[in-house]
């Protein structure tokens, strides 16, 4: 737990102590793993729950929320250790902890049932929440979430070894967080994309005490066994969006998710990178509407 304690100390006083932006729609929510910052669009439609894939933050979701809020209640929250949600000393980004945060957000907002729209490693937390509380999850809509074995291979290929060392990784991550964010967007977005559109909100958040605990989540999920029972929620419908222009996943097979979720419908988009929900919000919104309502508009 040295890594978790160090991240807590490094980011102390940073986040979840102030909401920042978006007026009354932004709030701090209690969860079993500590407070998190969330944006709630309100409304009475079906609930869509998002967690940004760091270094992305809630502010990146403005266009997508606007595209969806006419038909849905949209909730976006920063997981502990990302955006403006500081991690507690005991939060080690374990599978069970991430699931507890998701269910805690639903509890805090008195939401009985929601569709979980999560991406990359956060998709595993969504899968675990669906396995723990299937009655509360309408559907999973995932993006860039492969199988655990494929994700572990991705980690070995893409994450520098020092970041995988508890304590050392957290220190390097903290003092390099701005540089790491810039490098990540250049790697994950399609060739020729304007990375500044993504990097600017991330850097602004970091400037105001925001978190980017990349080392923590890498270390926390590393020991997850490929046959973990919380990664097999077989009774929930699943859609996986896969961006083919994501260089970081050049050698990752999206079908690697199927041993966990054989019911998954996989949609491939050759021109999209690592962030299908943010790069093309209208396309993503159409997928959501088709999945939940059978319509695209």
Tens digits of per-residue pLDDT, 116-166?
999 999 999 999 999 999 999 999 999 999 999 999 999 999 999 999 999
pLDDT exceeding 70 applies to what percent of the chain? 95
β-pairing verdict for 47-50 and 36-40 = unpaired
What's the pLDDT band for 18 if we cut at 50, 70, 90?
very low
Average pLDDT (230-248) is 96
**Can you give the pLDDT at residue 294?**
78
**Can you give the pLDDT at residue 22?**
45
112: pLDDT strictly greater than 90: yes
What's the pLDDT band for 12 if we cut at 50, 70, 90?
confident
C-beta of residue 75 within 8 angstroms of C-beta of residue 39:
yes
Instruction: Give ∠ CA 151-157-163 in degrees, rounded to 5.
Output: 90
What's the pLDDT band for 14 if we cut at 50, 70, 90?
low
Sheet with 73-77: strands ordered across: 26-29, 36-40, 73-77, 47-50, 114-119, 137-143, 238-243, 265-269
Average pLDDT (231-238) is 95
C-beta of residue 72 within 8 angstroms of C-beta of residue 46:
yes
Domain that residue 87 falls in: 2-289
Give the predicted TM-score (pTM) of the model: 0.95
β-pairing verdict for 211-212 and 238-243 = unpaired
Residue 297 in any domain: the answer is no
Who contacts 192 (Cβ-Cβ below 8 Å, separation ≥6)?
A: none
φ, ψ dihedrals at 238, nearest 5°: -135, 135
Residue 296 in any domain: the answer is no
What is the average pLDDT value for the chain, to the nearest integer?
94
Round to the nearest angstrom and report the end-to-end CA distance of the chain. 47
CATH for 161: 3.40.50.1820
Residue 295 in any domain: the answer is no
Average pLDDT (11-35) is 73
Average pLDDT (173-192) is 97
β-pairing verdict for 73-77 and 47-50 = parallel
Number of domains in the chain: 1
What's the pLDDT band for 182 if we cut at 50, 70, 90?
very high
Which is nearest to 55 in space by CA: 145, 158, 177, 174? 177
Residue 76 in any domain: the answer is yes
Residue 294 in any domain: the answer is no
**Can you give the pLDDT at residue 21?**
46
Q: Could you give the 3-state DSSP secondary structure of residue 88?
A: coil
φ, ψ dihedrals at 11, nearest 5°: -100, 15
**212 has which bridge partners?**
82
Residue 273 in any domain: the answer is yes
């Amino acid at each position: 737990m040295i890594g978790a304690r160090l991240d807590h100390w490094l980011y102390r006083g940073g986040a979840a102590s102030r909401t920042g932006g978006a007026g009354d729609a932004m709030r701090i929510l209690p969860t079993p793993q500590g407070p998190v910052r969330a944006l709630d669009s309100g409304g009475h439609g079906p609930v869509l729950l998002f967690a940004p894939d760091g270094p992305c933050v809630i502010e990146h979701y403005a266009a997508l929320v606007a595209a969806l809020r006419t038909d849905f209640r949209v909730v976006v929250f920063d997981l502990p250790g990302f955006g403006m949600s500081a991690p507690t000393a005991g939060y080690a980004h374990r599978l069970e902890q991430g699931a507890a945060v998701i269910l805690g957000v639903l509890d805090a907002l008195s939401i009985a049932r929601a569709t979980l729209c999560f991406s990359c490693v956060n998709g595993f937390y969504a899968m675990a929440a669906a396995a723990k509380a299937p009655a509360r999850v309408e559907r999973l809509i995932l993006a860039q979430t492969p199988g655990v074995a494929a994700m572990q291979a991705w980690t070995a290929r893409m994450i520098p070894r020092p970041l995988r060392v508890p304590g050392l990784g957290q220190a390097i991550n903290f003092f390099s967080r701005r540089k790491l964010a810039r490098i990540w967007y250049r790697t994950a977005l399609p060739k020729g994309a304007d990375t500044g559109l993504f990097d600017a909100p991330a850097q602004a958040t970091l400037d105001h005490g925001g978190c980017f605990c990349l080392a923590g989540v890498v270390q926390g999920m590393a020991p997850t066994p490929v046959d973990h029972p919380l990664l097999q929620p077989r009774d929930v419908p699943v859609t996986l969006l896969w961006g083919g222009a994501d260089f970081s996943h050049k050698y990752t097979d999206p079908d690697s998710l199927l041993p966990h979720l054989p019911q998954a419908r996989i949609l491939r988009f050759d021109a999209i990178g690592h962030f299908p929900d943010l790069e093309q919000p209208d396309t993503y919104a159409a997928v959501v509407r088709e999945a939940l309502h059978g319509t695209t508009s």
